[in-house]
Chain A
Amino acid sequence: MNRLLLALVVAVIPCLCGAAVDDYFQGEVWSKVGAQSCLECHKSGGDAESSKFLLQDPAREKTPGSAVSYNLAAFTKMAVARKGGQSRLLVKAIGGLGHGGEEVLKPDSTAYRILEEFVRRSDAQVTTANPARDAPSFFANIAMLDNRRLLRRVTLSLAARLPMSEELVVVEKQGLPAFGPILDALMKEEAFYQRLAEAFNDIFLVRGYDDGAESALSYEHFSMTRHWTEKHDLNQIADEKERQKARYKLADDYREALLREPLELINYIVRNERPFTEIVTADYIMVSPYTSRGYGNHEELRERFINPDDPFEYIPVRLDSLKNRTGRDHQQSETGFYPHAGMLSIFQYLRRYPTTETNRNRLRTRMFYQQFLGVDILELAARVQDAAAVTAKYEIPTMQAAECVVCHRTLDPVAGLFQDYYSLEGVYGPRKEGWFKDMFSPGFEGEELPASQRWRALQWLGERTAQDPRFATTMVEHVYYIVTGRKTLLPPKAIDDPLFEARQRAYQAQHREVERIAARFTETNFNLKAVFKEWIISAFYRADGNSTTAANPERRAELADIGLARMLIPEQLERKVNAIFGKPWGHLNDPEYALLYGGIDSKEVTERAADPSGAMGAIQRTLANDVACKNVPSDFAMEASKRKLFPGIEPDVLPGESPESDERIRETIIHLHELILGRYESIESPEVERTYSLFAGILSDAEERFGIETVENYSCRGAGEERVKDSHYTVRAWRGVVTYLLRQRDFLYE
């Protein structure tokens, strides 16, 4: 019986004859029923936490495998317990015995039949076995990327440059072990931190708030200083227009410096190899000479800056607790300092995710869970039979209706921890009437906030977040997103899907890797660089091809998310052009163009396009045409030793003239393939032959065309340059070759 047929049979009659009980438990009971239908309520902090059937969330286990063993025992106990001759597990699942969650499974459902089979097995006390022991490796028959190409991918992705020759030598000699030291050095380069900030903004979207960057500094506390650029003394500039221009620049730099602040916290932590848990616990913020003027503490910090006039030099600073401009309602603080809690208490972050009268900080909480613990509370919200009736039936549905409580018991206590930031603009300002009584009281995952911690509630939350195992896995998943452009897989839900087993295997394989790297992350005292290093050498990052044809639908489903194939974002594409040609294209730095090319604005458009639309295809064509136009004639115009593209050939070398000329053309093509595509081709390669044919074919066509100009296109000359002579049409033919290469996946994708 092949695997597909077996899967179909399993979907209908869940009987894996001969499989052992915990094999069956993990593969069937837990993944298809327990994790999907029971865990949400029957866990600590869940709506059914006081029931006798209490489960452990594997995402929060501190010892690998402990949750599965615990949950197996809990399920077995329920399975063998009887009420009226029937298994309590089965009766409860269909809403009997006063099950608080009412009917969770239909009696004719696949999930129910799985439980029936589990009860039968539990009664028979079938012995255990390890299901994974004999499973073939997930990456069996998958080819990995050549190390030289891996190096190019990494240097371009993380440092916006091509590999250095000495790095290539080391990688060729030592293989994968060489990547550790290379990455250590690369992660000290400034370009890495530009990419890091950009990538974490994709996750936190913290640059995307309205009303000007300085609106993050509340009027109540910074009214005298937040608009400092308007009154800053520029009298040293005599000309009024120039002075005004300088003031505009001052304001622009100040705003940009404010927007960068939260992301500079990430850069500071990573650059100094501090525990990345500081993203939720840091007792400081990053401040620049310009932003410190906004906070009003520039003079006391002035000596600490290397250059007090650099808008973008950042240092860690503890702010004093906030003083209200009215002289009353000052922020309470036992230390006298603002209770910083990393990103959680940064003004820009709070401003980005403000609250409303009815939202009551729940948006913030949702984002907190999503961004720091990897839990999306709302995305998979359970269907309510009649949500309107529930809303009308209960006085406080979020505390009384089981359908609502299931999420709000988790959500609302954390919302209460943000209560000091209730000002509707998103800045500091407690609710005048005190925090809401018709919400679950402030706390985190079942633990109430002690009154003594009230003034530092976000610090209290940050400390717990840092200790939560989900924090480490979530940060590992963030780095996976940064290096691959994709989010990690969700566990499959459709248990009747014939490909469920394959999708489950794909999810489990990836999840095991996430957990492995999270363990390494923890061992290194949460050094985020370790996570980058682990992902880079992981098979998930290096998988590049099949060594056998994967015609089997199950295997194809397993491999569906494997392989990088990531379209470069506009910013990365510009940097790649710059790395290869020595200057950027420029157009994709225009926000409108960047949006057209699938970019984000951090406000309305917050997800990058994963696939190229026709509009993006058009931009790729334009880019290829224009970059070739701007660089090929200019390159030929330089002396050969200074050229990037054509150091070994002149425009008068024509194909078919001699074996030597043909060889020089092919060597040039090999050079272009390596430079632009990162491909290392041999002279006999079919790709080189194809490019050679293109070059020769263009020249052949040109020869037959009457009246062609003998100089390059007017628009393709560089600034201040003459039109390049092109009597043989070779410059234009090479431009055609470069255009062809720039339109390929190896250039446009990572």
Chain B
Amino acid sequence: MHMHKYEKIWLFFGIGSLFVFLAVLGVGAFAQGTQPPSCLTTIDPEKVDQTPPFDKPGLVKTGDNEYQLNIVASAFAYTPNQVEIPKGAKVTINVATKDVIHGFEMAGTNVNMMVEPGYVSSYTQTFDKVGEYVILCNEYCGAGHHLMTAKVKVVEQ
């Protein structure tokens, strides 16, 4: 099919930059390991409180400067809802829900993941800056959805 010369130029650069962009995303994902949170671990949504590590939610030290932060989400609260993290810590955040879908978001960071009944959501983040971050629910979960919140303080070691 005939195409106008200008259209060929336009599409060449348009599609070309598209593939460059996709290559950047691909290299980021597969070579540098920047994948979106995609944890495959399952959990019985009715037994979250009895299943480790969610039977004892909170911050656990797992190594030199490495931590696990295990959080239980339910309508309309996070447990625990106040956490202190030492500055520079590399924290793997695991979240599970006891009821409906929630959206676990730590505003001002890249921690943003769906929490769905039956699955553990997990993401690892290093906290380099001292400060206070608000955790909220960004997926509608019912009448108190906008009241579902928690706080993280990053403090000097």
A, B in one complex:
no
Interface residues of B (CB under 8 A from A): none
